[in-house]
Structure 1
Amino acid sequence: MPITSLTPSQGTVGTSVNINGTALGTTVSVNFGGAVVSPTAVSNTVVTFVVPSTAPCSGQVSVSTNLSNGTRTNAVPFFVIVRPTTTGLDETCLPAAGGSITVFGTGFAAGGTVNVGALTPVAFAAGGSNTSVTVTAPAHTPAGCFDTQQVTVTTPGGTGTAGTTLIDYYNAPTLTAATLTPATGAAGTETTISGATCLIGITDVTFTDSAATAFTGLAFTPIDATSIVTAVPAAAAAGAGAFTITTCGGTSGPGAFTVT
């Protein structure tokens, strides 16, 4: 039995494989499934070849060698591992603290890592779903209000194509230095909140009145990343109240407004 093993015994297209055995010095070609491949190196105990581009996307193939005397050696199995792909995420954005994301695609069952930009890769175990994987994405503080990171998956079959699946990280909005014009008025008064930060991708504007009633989902008109126009709810109770603004990055501190 000239062939005893393959090193490695699994891989993807382009993997360099050593055929280990004896009496292999007269090898002229390698049979890889239905393909015939020229070896890159031949000795009596090791024949090296590269998995061809014609290899199946995944599954087991037989490997043997053809000798110069016209005979074929015994065959041993090689497992082709599919290169993963990513097709989407269940989230479009995350706060700077990170959070749970589910990555959709193919080729995940072998286990590997989810890579978010250049952040520390997150490992996931083999044996799960082949088409989705859920991990906790690492924390990342954007230099500005938000930035975009690409998400890829790496398995023993390789790394999926970069740039096809993206996620945004957001810093939380702040109203610490904001001014409200006006800052007092009757219920229903329209006010401009200006001097805030990171009012990008707003998902909710809330007013909490002096009776601790929270009015969510208020209409607003964005001006820029530091300013919006909104209005005190008509049903707000008189007294000290406050606006808060929520984005994917989190919820701001209060912006005070007194209902007269």
Structure 2
Amino acid sequence: MPITTLTPSQGTVGTTVNINGTSLGTTVSVNFGGAVVSPTAVSNTVVTFVVPSSAPCSGQVSVSTNLSNGTRTNSVPFFVIVRPTTTGLDESCLPAAGGSLTVFGTGFAAGGTVNVGALTPVAFAAGGSNTQVTVTAPAHTPAGCFDTQQVTVTTAGGTGTAGTALIDYYNAPSLTTATLTPATGAAGTETTVSGATCLIGITNVTFTDSAATAFTGLPFTPIDATSIVTAVPAAAAAGAGAFTVTTCGGTSGPAGFTVT
């Protein structure tokens, strides 16, 4: 039995493979499944070849060699690992602290890493779903209010094509430096919040009145990343209240408004 092992015993198209064994010095070609491949190096104990482009996308393939005397050696298995693809994400944005992220695609069952931009890759175990994987995305603080990171998956089969899955990281909004015009008025008063930061991608505006009643989902009109127009709820109790703003990055601190 001239062939004993393959190194490596799995890979993808283009992988360089060593056939290890004995009495291999007269090898003239390598049988890779139904393909006949010319070796790149031959010795009595090692024959080297490259997995051809005709290899199947995935699955087991038999490997043997043809000797100059017309005989064929024994066959050993090689496993072709599918190159992963990334088709989408369950989230479009994350806070700077990171968080749970599910990646959809194919070829994930072999295990590997989820790569978010140039951040530290996050490993996931083999044996799970072939079409989706959930990891905790790493933290990342954008230089501005938000930035966009490429998401790919790497397995033993390679790295999925870039450009198909993107995630935005958001810094939390802040009303610390904001002013309200007006800052007092009757319930139902329209007010302009200005001088804030990172009012981008707003998902909720809340007013909490003096009775600690929180009115969520208030209508608002964005002006720019520092300003919006909103209104005190008509049912708000008189006294000191406050607005907060929520984005993918988190919820701001309060900006006070006194209901008269």
User: Which TM class, normalised by the smaller chain length?
Assistant: over 0.9
- Whole-angstrom CA distance in 1 between matches of 2:46 and 2:13: 20
1:83 counterpart residue number: 83
- Whole-angstrom CA distance in 2 between matches of 1:145 and 1:53: 45
5+ residue gaps in structure 1? none
| C-alpha displacement of 1:151 | 0.8
- Whole-angstrom CA distance in 1 between matches of 2:225 and 2:114: 31
- Whole-angstrom CA distance in 2 between matches of 1:5 and 1:176: 66
After superposition, what is the alpha-carbon deviation per residue over 1:52-91, rounded to whole angstroms, capped at 9, x for unaligned? 1110011000001111222111111101111111111111
1:51 counterpart residue number: 51
- Whole-angstrom CA distance in 2 between matches of 1:54 and 1:233: 67
| C-alpha displacement of 1:134 | 0.7
Q: TM-score, normalised by structure 2?
A: 0.99
After superposition, what is the alpha-carbon deviation per residue over 1:172-224, rounded to whole angstroms, capped at 9, x for unaligned? 00000000001011111110000000000000000001111111000000000
Q: Which runs of 4+ in 1 moved over 6 A?
A: none
- Whole-angstrom CA distance in 2 between matches of 1:115 and 1:160: 10
5+ residue gaps in structure 2? none
After superposition, what is the alpha-carbon deviation per residue over 1:122-172, rounded to whole angstroms, capped at 9, x for unaligned? 111111111111111111000000001111111111111122111000000
Report sequence identity in percent.
93
- Whole-angstrom CA distance in 1 between matches of 2:201 and 2:85: 28
Q: Secondary structure at the match of 2:6?
A: strand
**Corresponding position: 1:193 with 2:193:** yes
Q: Secondary structure at the match of 1:56?
A: coil
RMSD: 0.7
After superposition, what is the alpha-carbon deviation per residue over 1:70-127, rounded to whole angstroms, capped at 9, x for unaligned? 2111111101111111111111100000000111111111111111111111111111
- Whole-angstrom CA distance in 2 between matches of 1:62 and 1:127: 23
5 Å-filtered alignment, 1:89-238, equals 89-238=89-238
Q: Secondary structure at the match of 1:23?
A: coil
Q: Secondary structure at the match of 1:136?
A: strand
- Whole-angstrom CA distance in 2 between matches of 1:91 and 1:195: 29
| C-alpha displacement of 1:244 | 0.2
- Whole-angstrom CA distance in 2 between matches of 1:246 and 1:23: 71
- Whole-angstrom CA distance in 2 between matches of 1:36 and 1:227: 68
- Whole-angstrom CA distance in 1 between matches of 2:53 and 2:203: 47
**Corresponding position: 1:70 with 2:56:** no
Residue-pair matches, total: 260
2:35 counterpart residue number: 35
| C-alpha displacement of 1:44 | 1.1
- Whole-angstrom CA distance in 1 between matches of 2:58 and 2:136: 28
Q: Secondary structure at the match of 2:134?
A: strand
Q: Secondary structure at the match of 1:258?
A: strand
Q: Secondary structure at the match of 1:253?
A: coil
